[in-house]
Amino acid sequence: MENVIVIGGGPAGLSAAIYLARAGLSPLVFAGSPPGGQLMLTSEVENYPGFESVLGAELIKKMRGQAEKFGAKILDQNISKVDLSRSPFKLMASSPVLTKSVIVATGAKALWLGLPSEKRLLGKGVSACATCDGFFFRDKTVAVVGGGDTALEEALTLTKFAKKVYVIHRRDSFRASKIIQERVFNNPKIEIIWNAVVEEIVGENRVDGIKLKVKSEKLKVEIQNLKLEGVFVAIGHKPNTDIFKGQVKMDEKGYILTSQSATSVKGVYAAGDCVDYQYRQAAVAAGMGVSAALDVEEWLESA
């Protein structure tokens, strides 16, 4: 019987593990396979407090080492099934485990275009986070792919750094809210390319440009090549919460609903990008993990 199991090995889960371990609760962390969350896909991180510059993988390594130093046990395994209908809770990994409490910190994943070149150039000019990586594109030309609120907000963020921002959208109108559309239309740095699909991201070791398939007003398909240095994919995120469906309350997109960090099930808490659809930052996730750990500690003392 475990006191607490943390599901997830990103900033939220590992920050929770550090606090839980220091409280003497000996947390068991299922970090996933592969472990580390989205930070493992990030090359350089310059906006995490205390680090002027650190590789995403190195930051995760330091967090893991700190958690283990204080007594957390970390397994690079996935949880495949959960039963949160009664206490103790039952989780299935390579074998069943029982626990008094759970912190869900499974994160979310960006939705990608599915291009081989996109995967090859990830972290080399391809990104899914303007707030994280926009600084690296100062005075450069970039493109944002998407047409919702997130895409247009990404484009507006990038105008603070880039000299020119293309917005590539596969339709002839945006789904985003009107006020954000107006800001985009009125920004002189932004150029919109309608009815366009990215065919390929061009470049060997860095992004050099993109190849577009554009449908003209006469419904004629043309190939267009754009020279640029960065591509930001903003077609949405999907929280990694499928195994919790029907177990805890979620919104229509699958994000777990919480009050502070508590879910709809007593003894089950959630933190990080599986809850947070707005900020999606490592430092925010870490803070949410700390909150969840403190809430679990209090709950175990009163249970």
pLDDT, tens digit, 9 for 90 and up, residues 118-145: 999 999 999 999 988 999 999 999 999 9
**Shared-domain flag, residues 174 and 144:** yes
**Shared-domain flag, residues 133 and 105:** no
d(CA 31, CA 276): 19
The percentage of residues in the chain with a pLDDT greater than 90, rounded to a whole number, is 87
Task: Give the sheet arrangement for strand 190-193, strand by strand.
Answer: 126-127, 230-233, 141-145, 164-168, 190-193
**Shared-domain flag, residues 26 and 87:** yes
Residues 49-73, mean pLDDT to the nearest whole number: 96
- Confidence class for position 77, pLDDT limits 50, 70, 90: very high
**DSSP H or E stretch at residue 154:** helix 149-158
Catalytic residues: 129, 132-133
Of 233, 255, 274, the one marking the end of a domain is 233
**Shared-domain flag, residues 120 and 225:** yes
**Looking at residue 162, what is its pLDDT?**
98
Pairing of strands 230-233, 221-227: unpaired
**Shared-domain flag, residues 101 and 64:** yes
**Shared-domain flag, residues 212 and 291:** no
pLDDT, tens digit, 9 for 90 and up, residues 177-190: 999 999 999 999 99
Range of the domain at 186: 116-233
Name the domain count of the chain. 2
**Shared-domain flag, residues 199 and 59:** no
Please determine, for residue 155, whether its predicted confidence score (pLDDT) is greater than 90.
yes
Average model confidence (pLDDT) for the chain? 95
Of 233, 254, 282, the one marking the end of a domain is 233
Of 217, 233, 249, the one marking the end of a domain is 233
**Shared-domain flag, residues 176 and 101:** no
Lowest-confidence pick of 38-47, 73-82, 84-93: 38-47
**What DSSP assignment string belongs to 222-252?**
EEEEEE-SEEEE-S-EEES-GGGTTTS-B-T
The percentage of residues in the chain with a pLDDT greater than 70, rounded to a whole number, is 99
**Shared-domain flag, residues 125 and 86:** no
Structure token digits, residue 233:
């994919």
**Looking at residue 276, what is its pLDDT?**
96
**Shared-domain flag, residues 38 and 178:** no
**DSSP H or E stretch at residue 69:** helix 56-69
Specify burial of residue 139 (Cβ count, 10 A radius: 0-12, 13-18, 19+): exposed
CATH of the domain at 122: 3.50.50.60
- Radius of gyration over every alpha carbon of the chain, rounded to an integer in angstroms: 21
**Shared-domain flag, residues 32 and 76:** yes
State pTM to two decimals: 0.85
